[in-house]
Structure 1
Amino acid sequence: MIDLDGTVYRGSEKIPAARRFVERLQAAQLPFLFLTNNTTKTPAAVVQNLADNHQISVRPDQIYTPSLATVSYLKAKNHGDLHGKSVYVIGELGLVSALLDAGMVLNETDPDYVVVGLDYDVTYHKFEVATLAIRQGSTFIGTNADTNLPNEHGLVPGAGSVIAMVERATQQTATYIGKPEPIIVQAALSVLGREAAQVLLVGDNYETDIRAGINANVDQLLVYTGVSKPAVVATKAQQPTYQINSLDEWQL
């Protein structure tokens, strides 16, 4: 399971070792899944971005996002069927399309669920609608807790920063789906058809990627190309299973 932002790329900035790592996995015919916390794009759009901007060729079914994990989680809560269930969404196309494709309908008045993720065009009105719905009884779902997202500019606000504003306004804590929660890792294990002991989770962020592995009993490989820094990680009580500076260092 391989993280994207900060591990395979930094926004539009390439991480050349990541392409070589993926090519080595493909040559060895080792199954892998990109396990990202980014909900802004559909799997097809992620594949297109990887191909066009990073020369990495993969399939849409090799991309797993909190959008897909949210659908899986909500289906489990509704006997496997979300048709007719209503939702208000703060988020981009990747999140909205996953929920609508599962049969949910948009509702700004009294939705069954409010799902909040990263939204590049978030407005006060969206926060207002979400806040009122949650305070009136809608179930509050947060895609992931990342406070920051690494791109070519640096560490910019992530979904967790957006969700935090709704939490503050509602005085409620969201149910989180993405890393570091085990929910998304367990769902991804099902997609891969593997047990936790058979999988390695690769990422750049101790607080999301590495903690997700720890919480789901999956070995972790921390690569220092994104958010986390060695001096900070050294202070953590539980260390990653493995640590490297570049994916070129990892021997399959």
Structure 2
Amino acid sequence: MWAYLMDMDGVLVHEEHLIPGADQLVAELTASGTPFRVLTNNSIYTPRDLRARLLRTGLDVPEEAIWTSALATARFLQTQRPGGSAFVIGEAGLTTALHEIGYVLTDRDPDYVVLGETRTYSFTAITRAIRLVEEGARFIATNPDATGPSREGSLPATGSVAALIERATGRSPYFVGKPNPLMMRSALNSLGAHSETTLMIGDRMDTDVRSGLEAGLKTILVLTGISTRDTAELYPYRPNRVIDSVAELVGRSHDPLGEGA
């Protein structure tokens, strides 16, 4: 049996709209007991928040099947420095994940500065982060995405603010989210799945397909998001399969690579 890792935005939903076939695929995986995780580099929301957001689009994803860069970051910090402390720039998705592993959130001599996504980046908080990194705090960021989407257009995201702090301090962050294969491996561990029998479905060659490839997974590129057939050809690596959308996997989730009869 295959296990599935699936990106969320561009694969299952576009902003607040369901991508046709996504609900049928998730229902099929759930009914058959196929292990899966829905992944997102966005660290703003908790899995509970994201479940509610997806339900509004018509997509019924169990809370435990949602894996965020915030959860991956918390898992990483727990292995590196259990019971540590952090100064956090981010929203509930990140602060909740860190609280759940027993981290203390503080702006006084923290072990880490942890930068995540927020729609209200504070100049005061960024200045404090710069000074703490200068004083020796280790610099972690949930994901390298430079911009995020909104109804009005692009918004500066974690990668852009990380670049600002890096330029001010001369210290580079460690990015946990995609394309770091650590994100894939932490999701695999949460599933109890093996890379050889796990599939990564994504809409971006530079993050989804790359991180899946580097984690040893089979990969499928869907054309409902960022990458196109033409732009995919520009990369030095290839997905195992390219499909128009996840609708093509409905009724075929047992044979996602089209290798059967």
TM-score by length of 1: 0.92
Partners of 1:62 and 1:22 in 2: how far apart? 11
Q: What is the SS of the residue equivalent to 1:16?
A: coil
1:18-97 equivalences under 5 Å are 18-51=22-55, 53-78=56-81, 81-82=82-83, 85-97=84-96
Partners of 1:8 and 1:156 in 2: how far apart? 21
Deviation (angstroms), 1:153: 5.2
Per-residue CA distance 1:132-164 (angstroms, 9 max, x = gap): 111110010010112233455555433222222
8 A contact 1:40–1:94 mirrored in 2: yes
8 A contact 1:88–1:130 mirrored in 2: yes
Aligned pair in 2 of structure 1 residues 155, 205: CA closer, same or farther (>3 Å)?
Answer: farther
For structure 1, the 5+ residue unaligned runs are none
Partners of 2:247 and 2:90 in 1: how far apart? 35
1:66-145 equivalences under 5 Å are 66-78=69-81, 81-82=82-83, 85-145=84-144
State the AA in 1 paired with 2:113. Answer: V
Partners of 2:134 and 2:151 in 1: how far apart? 37
8 A contact 2:18–2:59 mirrored in 1: no
8 A contact 1:112–1:138 mirrored in 2: yes
Q: Among the aligned pairs, what percent are the same residue?
A: 35
Partners of 1:185 and 1:203 in 2: how far apart? 12
State the AA in 2 paired with 1:47. Answer: R
Considering only aligned residues, what root-mean-square deviation do their CA atoms show, in Å? Answer: 1.6
Q: Between 16-25 and 145-154, report the one with greater CA deviation.
A: 145-154
Aligned pair in 2 of structure 1 residues 6, 154: CA closer, same or farther (>3 Å)?
Answer: farther
Deviation (angstroms), 1:241: 1.5
For structure 2, the 5+ residue unaligned runs are 254-261
Q: Equivalent residue for 1:166?
A: 165
Q: What is the SS of the residue equivalent to 2:221?
A: strand
TM-score by length of 2: 0.89
Partners of 2:62 and 2:226 in 1: how far apart? 26
Q: What is the SS of the residue equivalent to 2:7?
A: coil
Aligned pair in 2 of structure 1 residues 99, 130: CA closer, same or farther (>3 Å)?
Answer: same
8 A contact 1:117–1:163 mirrored in 2: no
Aligned pair in 2 of structure 1 residues 150, 21: CA closer, same or farther (>3 Å)?
Answer: farther
Per-residue CA distance 1:21-68 (angstroms, 9 max, x = gap): 2122223321111121111101111111111x2212222111111111
Partners of 2:27 and 2:150 in 1: how far apart? 23
Number of paired residues? 247
8 A contact 2:201–2:219 mirrored in 1: yes
1:209-248 equivalences under 5 Å are 209-248=208-247
Aligned pair in 2 of structure 1 residues 145, 217: CA closer, same or farther (>3 Å)?
Answer: same
Partners of 2:248 and 2:154 in 1: how far apart? 25
Partners of 1:247 and 1:153 in 2: how far apart? 27
Which residue, 10, 16, 30 being the options, matches 2:14? Answer: 10
Partners of 1:153 and 1:201 in 2: how far apart? 30
